[in-house]
Amino acid sequence: MTSTEEVPVTEHKATGEEEDDEDEVTPWLVSSKSEKGVNYDKLIDKFGSSKIDDALLKKFEEVTGKPVHHLLRRGIFFSHREMDQILEIVKKGKDETVKEGKLKTVEEGKLKTVEKGTPFYLYTGRGPSSEAMHLGHLIPFIFTKWLQDTFDVPLVIQMTDDEKYLWKGIPLEETNRLAHENAKDIIACGFDIDKTFIFSDIENISSSQEFYKHMCQIQKYVTFNQVKGIFGFTESDCIGKISFPAIQATPSFSGAFPKIFSGKKDIPCLIPCAIDQDPYFRMTRDVAPRLGFKKPALLHSTFFPALQGAQSKMSASDPNTSIFLTDTDKQIKDKINKYAYSGGGSTVEEHKEKGGDCSVDVAFQYMKFFSEDDDRLAQIEKDYSSGELLTGHLKKELIGVLQKLVGEHRERRAKVTDELVNQFMTPRKLKYDY
């Protein structure tokens, strides 16, 4: 599966208790037998990551001088590895530049600690398995764009066309074409062309010696037993799959991009991704010290629910489980009205009497992901839970939010030319003032 792929919040009702022990979260499969869906707190324990708590959010705000993004505030990005250290690095750079009188300005909440060099870089990615991206795919990119703006740092985006060939059997020419198509949607999220490098694995690995050398080093220090333990590979998996984790690990090290980072090998890396991608980076963090490299830091998000929420299995081939970025206003309206799983009462009377359940209501969950207005969201939660706000009205409001979001995305995407895609995908020094 891809990062932030749409998944059902829950599958069937469990018969026993403690079913969430059976949650399974790997890059290819997310399933939970528990009625409550994936238990994210347990996942933190199991994966050994850290919860994003109030203290970390406070530190975020202190260092950046502005409120954190709603995806952080609302617990959608809920887990991390060493984000506190990234903030320390930024803070230290800021303190030093202030001391040396070098801090230019803090403009509109943007840090300009540029004269010290970039404090870190961002790395994220996308597996290009389909032409049309859906709402869930946007989440990591919307958030990464906010991180790039907030910290004023360079970003590399890996398009794993090789991965989708290995796992989905889509021909290489086709996954490579999809990498370029999907890059348009990513560019439409508003990334800064001076600070963003998007690359296809197929193209990059065959043209960059340093990238390939880093891959070889990782391959030398990770055994089959290790990847078997982390990813569950078996002896009948093709060797392409078995060695693929080294390819996804490589962009975590700045030395793999000599053109982008002028040969600097020790720039810290921060990876925003959905939690299902964590196995790759547990492996990366494990191997890093053995190669004398810095471990990447991570920010993890929860999954984006399919329209059918609790009741159904996700189906990538069923267009009615997702809102696509290419959907028309009418399609958005029809899909939400028809398919969005409701946590409301089955009749108006029952709803008014018992209230709705926001924790399973897909329209409410989507509002949480996409509506930026905290006050309105709190009001909706209150009124929906009490039964005052009806499902139809909640859906109507969501339809408005999504039509605007998708409509604006569509307009921006239409302006992205092949020429612009090529510019983003050309290896070049990114702009960060040293």
Residues forming the site for ligand TRP (CB under 6 A) = 2-3, 27, 123-127, 158, 160, 163, 248, 271, 273, 277
- Shortest approach of ligand TRP to residue 138 CB, angstroms? 13
**Tokens (6 digits) for 321:** 């489980």
Nearer to ligand TRP, 199 or 261 (CB): 199
What are the tokens at 31?
A: 């399933």
C-beta closer to ligand TRP: residue 231 or 364: 231
Give the integer Cα–Cα distance in Å for 385 and 361.
10
Give me the least distance between CB of 47 and ligand TRP, in Å please.
15
Given the complex with ligand TRP, which of 20 and 276 has the nearer CB atom? 276
Q: Which is nearer to ligand TRP, 251 or 344 (CB)?
A: 251
Sequence-distant (≥ 6) Cβ neighbours of residue 394 within 8 angstroms: 344, 356, 361, 363, 364, 367, 380, 384
How near is the Cβ of 267 to ligand TRP at its closest, in Å?
16
To the nearest whole angstrom, how small is the minimum distance from the Cβ of residue 164 to ligand TRP? Answer: 7
Minimum Å distance from CB 387 to ligand TRP?
39
- 3-state DSSP assignment of residue 284: helix
Distance, in Å, from the CA atom of 88 to the CA atom of 73, rounded to the nearest integer, reads: 20
Place of tokens 């982390």: 230
Alpha helices (H) in 196-327, listed in sequence order: 201-205, 209-221, 224-231, 239-249, 258-261, 278-287
User: Any bridge partners for residue 274, and if so which?
Assistant: 301
Whole-number Å distance between alpha carbons of 407 and 183: 18
CB nearer to ligand TRP: give 113 or 204. 204
Cβ atoms within 10 Å of 30's Cβ, excluding its own: 21
Burial 285-304 (b: 16+ CB within 10 A, else e): bebbeeeebbbbbbbbbbbb
Question: Based on CB atoms, which residue is closest to ligand TRP, 27 or 255?
Answer: 27
CA 179/CA 421 separation, integer angstroms:
10
Question: Closer to ligand TRP at the Cβ: 2 or 49?
Answer: 2
Q: How far is the CB of 287 from ligand TRP (least distance, A)?
A: 16
Distance separating alpha carbons of residues 126 and 141, to the nearest angstrom: 10
Q: What letter does residue 307 receive in the DSSP assignment?
A: T
Smallest distance from ligand TRP to CB 158, Å: 4
